[in-house]
Chains A and B, each alone.
Chain A
Amino acid sequence: SQQGEEDPQALSIQEGENATMNCSYKTSINNLQWYRQNSGRGLVHLILIRSNEREKHSGRLRVTLDTSKKSSSLLITASRAADTASYFCALIQGAQKLVFGQGTRLTINP
Chain B
Amino acid sequence: DVKVTQSSRYLVKRTGEKVFLECVQDMDHENMFWYRQDPGLGLRLIYFSYDVKMKEKGDIPEGYSVSREKKERFSLILESASTNQTSMYLCASIGTVPYEQYFGPGTRLTVT
Contact = CB atoms under 8 A, between A and B. Distances in A.
Interface string A36-48: 0000111111001
Contacts of B20: none
Interface stretch (A13-21, A65-73, A77-85, A94-102): A94-102
Interface stretch (B11-19, B65-73, B94-102): B94-102
Contacts of B102: 45
Nearest to B95: A96
Contacts, number: 58
Given A45-B100, A48-B98, A50-B98, A100 B43 contact: yes
Given A40-B108, A41-B106, A42-B90, A96 B31 contact: yes
Interface of A: 1, 30-31, 33, 35, 40-45, 48, 50, 88, 90, 92, 95-103
Interface of B: 4, 31, 33, 40-43, 45, 48, 50, 58-59, 88, 90, 92, 94, 98-106, 108
Contacts of B40: 102
Contacts of B41: 102
A42 B104 CA distance: 6
Contacts of B43: 43, 88, 100
Nearest to B94: A96
B45 to A, nearest CB: 7
A107 to B, nearest CB: 16
